[in-house]
Structure formats: C-alpha cells, structure tokens
Chain A
C-alpha cells in the first residue's frame, strides 16, 4: 500500500510502561512527508519515550509502527536508520577531541576503508544544501552548542535520514542560534525532509511547525494544524486547564543593598577562570536576574556566594558584612539561602521528605536540642511546611525521590524560604518542570520578593529571567556584559550580549531607581 495520504510515520496505540509510570498510554501519531511536526508537552508527558520507541531505543509494550506504509518492527537505532529515521538527542554525543568529519563518519563501515576526502565533500554539500555553516576540520571542543548541534544534524543526514527527530533542540541555544536552527528546519521541510520537533516551548511551535501533536500524561491531547491554533489553546491542551500567563508583580521600592559583590574572581573545576572581576548588587525586595548561555560562569558565581567554591579574588558582602572567607555553615547563618541549579546537590533523594526539610535548621532549636534531634518538633515543622507550601506527598515519611519534580523543587524552595534568608540565590528554578509547576514556583519567588528578600536569580531561560526580574544582568564568560531594568529589556541587545558581541559601557548602564 502506498501512503497516498502522504503519511510517512504512523504510530498506533503505542503503550510503554516503566516501573510505576505509564510513559505512553496508547499514543497515536501521524507524521506527513515534508512537514515540520511539533511534538509538544510538559516535562514527563512522554515525548522522549515515544520518539525513543520510533528510533528503536525502547520497544513498545503494545502498539504498531508503520513507516512509508509498511508495518515495521524497529529493534535498534541501526534499524531506524535503515528506515531513514535519524534522531538528535537532548544531550550531544560527540567526541570532543575529534574533528567534525571524524565525528560524522565515526562508526560507519566505509570510514574504515576510505580516507575522509569524499566524506568531507559530501558534508560540505549537505551543509550548503540546508544552509548550515560548518568547518569540517574544526574540533568539536572548539564549537559552540549551536555548531555542535549542526554536526549532530549533519551526522544524521549523512546517514541518509529523511525523517529527523530533534529532542528539545533549542534548550542549549542562544536566542540567535535558536532562530538559525528554526530557519534550517523550515528549509529542510521545504526540500522534502520530514522533521519531528520535540519541545515544550509554545512560541517555537507557532514559529516553525506545520502541525502539532500535544501530549499530556502519556496520551495525545490533540493534533492540530498550527495555523489554526494559538498559544493559549496549546497551553490549555498541554496542562489541561487555563494557565496564568501574566505574572502579578507588585511594584516594590527596593531597600538596602543586601548582596554586594565586587571584583570577584572564581575558578571552575578545571582550574580555569570562570568568573572574572565580576561586580553586582542586589537590594532587599528586588530580583536581579542573571541571563546567559549556560556555562558562562553562572554556576561558579552562585557557588562562590554560597561558600561552596573558593574565591580567588574580590569581596562578597551580605548586609554589609564581609562573608568572603566564611565556611558554608557560617554563610547560612549570615542569611544566605541557596537553591542550586543541580537540585540533587541540595537534597538527599533516598531520605524522607521531613529529613530533607530539616537539612538547614537541624542544628538549631526547636529541631536540634543539645546533641539530639527532637522528633516531635521535626514532625510539626515538616507538616507545617508541607501544608503551607502545598507539597504534594503521601506523608512526611515518604522518600523524597518518590515525589514529582515540581514537588521536589517546591520542597527545596520551602526549606530555603522558611529559613527567612535575607538573600535567596535561585538557579534554574524551573528547569525540567512543567507549566503548572513553573507557575507555582514563580508565585513562590514573587511572594518571597514581597517579603523583602533580595533574590539573585540565575536562569538559562531568558523568558523566566525577563518575567521575574526587576533588573537583568547578562553574563558572558564570567563577566557582566550589561545591566538594565527588566521593562527596558531589548531582546536583540540581550542576544548580542549573551553571545559576547555587545558590552554596555558603564556609562550606558541604566541607573538604579532608588
């Protein structure tokens, strides 16, 4: 049977169970030749699982797959590639010290016998054809995230794929790189390639796709023509209810300077400079958002402030007191709360919710009394936080790892906020969370701001930084490229700063309204 309706991939009744979860609960998906088909859904909706099944990484427990009108069983990625299906994963899988060409032909039989000259020619042809500029001789470590992604895409094309699956391809990119990628995808579709584009960002769906399939909790909520829908409808389908988009942000007169960082120098794990002569200030009742492509010193900056990474030079003061040399415990006592981007470094997954909630205050009365832990006080305190912050858990004894990502993050924030810090550092507060959970986390942060806490927000998600912050600073290679009021943000300028192409001179910095 020829697919006269143009359907190249048909998945029917796909079921995939993992211990304790049904990742796909009877999913139907139809993808047509030459379209960009967006697969939209919150985190955990089952998008990656579904595509891993199509790519032969997982095997469905039930269901059928048809490719080009033929019923197929895909046992491995090799099978998938033979059917013309290629996948670009969320994490790149390139050999950092090899060149682009070497990475692309790596693992192919012909590469063993032939020198890579024909390969280079073919790669240049492909990159020309789809408008993806790349230097075949460059080594991977020299390339930006966007360029590495091009290599991944070329690798798949080189293997003859005509159905491309991209799993959240924009999560590592700057806005400018994202823009380039989306343009490339459109161009591919026009030339007959079929693109399946996984994302949880609505605006990308609208911008690039022809049709969109929305997944929710392992099921398909709807498949729509993109031109006939809008972000609001998509968000509703994704979450299953109306979502608040505008944040209610009360105007607050910022108070005293709480965090004062000057001339800060910090090294990364490899001993290379990660933060260079950085200065910033955060005032009480103010959110300072630091935007930037991940890996530009954000992590080192916050770890240095929290006392988890040595400071090579400069000064960190909290409430006018120099804390530069204090140990982590003393920093906690001086009023610093910290929600790290790598959540697990602040939590003990195997221990109970209650035992995670007391991680900071177990030393003090009423939880800690002399050498003892007061079990009754722990119960009272944990139950109070669970109620107050609406942490969804069977009870306080449940191991933390059994909670959903949103509730784990809520517990972490609850703990840090209940310490009544004067400075709260939050990194990637909503990464990996779905729209609903993101919304509640944002509300929590805004409430904390109203309480008069100084908040230093680090996020790779520009939209998050712009919607939460009072002031925004852009970081690039460990330096602040510019700082401005959030409402005066200019996306184009920010993009340039994030890429290191623009730096506001001190004279241009918009003054503090105080």
Chain B
C-alpha cells in the first residue's frame, strides 16, 4: 500500500469568499509564526503584538506616523499593482525609489533658487523620470531579449544604493554637515508642506491617492489598460489579437518605476530635506510595496488601504524595536513572513489539497 500523501487538485474556479477566508487565515498564520519568533527572542508575543498595534494605530502620534509612512508605500505599491497586472514582476521598486530621490536632489543642485511653485513640481517630474530610467533597463531587456526582469530589477536596487552612497559620501556631500554623509539641507522653497504638527506631507498623499484612482481608471476603462490585463492574463492571446507586447511591457514598467521615483521624491522633499544614505531614506519601502500590491490583490484602489495597514506595521515595528529591545530586522522578518503566507493563501484558494491514505 502507498503511504499517505498530499495531492493538489486545481480548482476550476476559486470562489471569492474562499479567497477572503484564505487571506485572513494567511494573516493569522503569519502572526502565529511571528509570535513564535518573538517567543524565541524572549519576548511575550501578546505584549509584542499589542505594542505593534498600539504603536501604529493606537495613538494620534502613531496614526500620524502611519499615514506618513503609507505615502511612499502607496505610491510604489500602486505602481506595482499595474506592473504585476501586466505580468512584469518588477521587484526593484526600492532602487527606483532611490533614483527618484537622486533625481529630485539633482533639481535642487541645478535650480536652487526657483520659487516653490516651480521647484516642487520640477522635483516630482524629475523624480518620476529617475524612477523611470531605473525601470527602463529591466523593461527593455525583458521586452527585447526576454531577460528575466526579476533578476535585473533586483540587481539594480543595489546599484542604486551604491550610487546614493557614492553621492552623499563624495561629490554631493554638504559643506555644513560636520562630516556626516549627507547633502546640505534643501532650500525652504523645496519643502513639501506638511499638516501642522505632523510629518504628513499631504500634497504627496493627495498625489498618491489621485494616481491610485488614475491607474484604476487606466486599467479598467482604457484600451491600453485592457491590453495590459489581456497581456498579463494570457500573453499568447494578446499576441493573437495583435497587441504590442513590447509597448505594454515597457509602459507598465516605466509607470511603476516612475511612481516609485515619486515616492523617493516625497521622502527627500517632504521628510528629510536632504539626500542621505539609502538606509536612511528608505527602510525598504520599495520591498514592502510588493506586499502592499499583493495584499491589495493587485487592485490599485485597495492599495490605498493596504499601504495604510503596512505603514502601521512599520511604525509599530519601530516602536517595539525600541521598547522591547529587538533587532532592527524584526519588521523585515514580519514582512517576509506575511508575504510568504499571502502567496501561499493564493495557492490554497486555487488548489484543493487533499490528504490521501
């Protein structure tokens, strides 16, 4: 007789209810897993989760910080929903974000004296361009030569990181920085306004929400959006229907890169007012944005919500790092575990798993 074994049977259709249940179960399992890790780090998991939640959502200050961090997550995450819909697995939003920061800083270096109403739009445009440039290489390699965009976009993250580091340690290091590897502070005219008493640079937030709506409309109401969805769901059918694969591939990559670039612009012009080393500009927003997009089931409108959720998680994670003296990687572990379980949930929603004896 055969030993008991597990068998996967593909479901003909996966009911939406099941998908939601699978998602909730995935989040619960992720929490249990992380709880176990907390336990082995010598921290009471219940206390830790309570602190995370309180940190991110439990106080006015926490909520303000959560919204602040949701801004780059939303911008990059919305871009990724578009890229993933078109079956372009852009994993390099982090690098595109950093290049957005670099290009925005470049504007300051060229036209520091422009008035606010010119300078800020110029920085956003330039940041968008920076993200696009960084997405262009993986995009063209994929569209023309079928080079796997996962690898190329990811590798470029490290190149971008080194480039930022080179700039702030070298040619762009400020004159009044007392030796710190940072640029001089940006002129006041370049500072994106914030809500009084908070770090919420609300114009960027509004821009992000606007773009989420625009991407949604693009996907659902326009010809090119239809082409993106057909290409993503069945590239063969897209070819059969005479759609231009290269155009779709380039477009979704460039837009998603550009949006990540906007996120980087928002960080330097709304939070730091300088270019700093990569770790200081972004605690991995570009990677967390992958989870934002995936949790949103690649719906750009839903990404508005999921970016808020993940933003809270980042804030809560910071809170417990300090309060419970946990290693800095704790939040990244949490993120990784969530992504793993969310993707697993997709598998469970699409396949029936049976134990056979």
Q: Which of B11, B230, B240 is packed against the most chain A CB atoms within 10 Å?
A: B240
Contacts of A345 in B (CB 8 A): 234, 236-237, 240
Q: How far is the CB of A175 from chain B (nearest CB, A)?
A: 32
B13 at the binding interface (Cβ < 8 Å): yes
Q: How far is the CB of B82 from chain A (nearest CB, A)?
A: 16
Question: How far apart are the CA atoms of A372 and B217 in the complex, in Å?
Answer: 10
A350 at the binding interface (Cβ < 8 Å): yes
Contacts of B2 in A (CB 8 A): 75-76, 78
Q: How far is the CB of B180 from chain A (nearest CB, A)?
A: 48
Asked whether B233 lies within 8 Å of A346 as measured between CB atoms, the reply is no
Which of B90-98, B111-119, B218-226, B309-317 is the contact stretch? B218-226
A348 at the binding interface (Cβ < 8 Å): yes
Given that A20-B12, A75-B1, A371-B223 are known contacts, is A340 also in contact with B240, CB under 8 Å in the complex? yes
Contacts of B236 in A (CB 8 A): 344-345
Q: How far is the CB of B18 from chain A (nearest CB, A)?
A: 10
Asked whether B230 lies within 8 Å of A328 as measured between CB atoms, the reply is no
Interface residues on A, range: 35 or more
User: What does the 1/0 interface line of B215-251 toward A look like (CB < 8 Å)?
Assistant: 0000001111110011001101101111110000000
Question: How far apart are the CA atoms of A416 and B356 in the complex, in Å?
Answer: 45
Given that A308-B240, A401-B13 are known contacts, is A363 also in contact with B223, CB under 8 Å in the complex? yes
Asked whether B230 lies within 8 Å of A338 as measured between CB atoms, the reply is no
Closest chain B residue to A326 by CB distance?
Answer: B242
Which of A204-212, A354-362, A379-387, A463-471 is the contact stretch? A354-362
B272 at the binding interface (Cβ < 8 Å): no
Residues 180-219 of A contacting B (Cβ, < 8 Å):
none
Given that A345-B240, A359-B241 are known contacts, is A373 also in contact with B234, CB under 8 Å in the complex? no
Given that A345-B240, A348-B237 are known contacts, is A18 also in contact with B222, CB under 8 Å in the complex? no
Contacts of A340 in B (CB 8 A): 240
Question: How far apart are the CA atoms of A363 and B20 in the complex, in Å?
Answer: 35
Asked whether A359 lies within 8 Å of B222 as measured between CB atoms, the reply is no
Given that A345-B237, A345-B240, A399-B13 are known contacts, is A371 also in contact with B230, CB under 8 Å in the complex? no
Question: How far apart are the CA atoms of A176 and B259 in the complex, in Å?
Answer: 63
Asked whether B223 lies within 8 Å of A373 as measured between CB atoms, the reply is yes
User: What does the 1/0 interface line of B1-14 toward A look like (CB < 8 Å)?
Assistant: 11000000001110
Question: How far apart are the CA atoms of A373 and B224 in the complex, in Å?
Answer: 9
B109 at the binding interface (Cβ < 8 Å): no
Residue from the list B1, B223, B356 in contact with A372, Cβ < 8 A: B223
B144 at the binding interface (Cβ < 8 Å): no
A349 at the binding interface (Cβ < 8 Å): yes
Question: How far apart are the CA atoms of A329 and B227 in the complex, in Å?
Answer: 13
Asked whether B233 lies within 8 Å of A351 as measured between CB atoms, the reply is yes
Contacts of B13 in A (CB 8 A): 19-20, 399, 401-402
A residues contacting B by CB (< 8 A) are: 18-20, 59, 75-76, 78, 306, 308, 327-332, 338, 340, 344-351, 355, 358-360, 362-363, 368, 371-373, 375, 399, 401-402
Task: Give the top 6 A-B pairs by smallest Cβ distance, nearest first.
Answer: A329-B242, A328-B242, A345-B236, A359-B241, A348-B234, A348-B233
List 18 contacting pairs A-B, 8 Å CB cutoff, sorted by A. A19-B11, A20-B12, A76-B2, A328-B242, A329-B243, A329-B244, A331-B242, A332-B242, A344-B234, A344-B236, A348-B230, A348-B234, A350-B233, A351-B233, A359-B230, A372-B221, A372-B222, A372-B223
List 17 extra interface pairs beyond A340-B240, A359-B241, CB under 8 A.
Answer: A59-B356, A306-B240, A328-B241, A328-B242, A330-B242, A345-B236, A345-B240, A346-B237, A351-B233, A362-B226, A368-B223, A371-B223, A371-B224, A372-B223, A373-B222, A399-B13, A401-B12
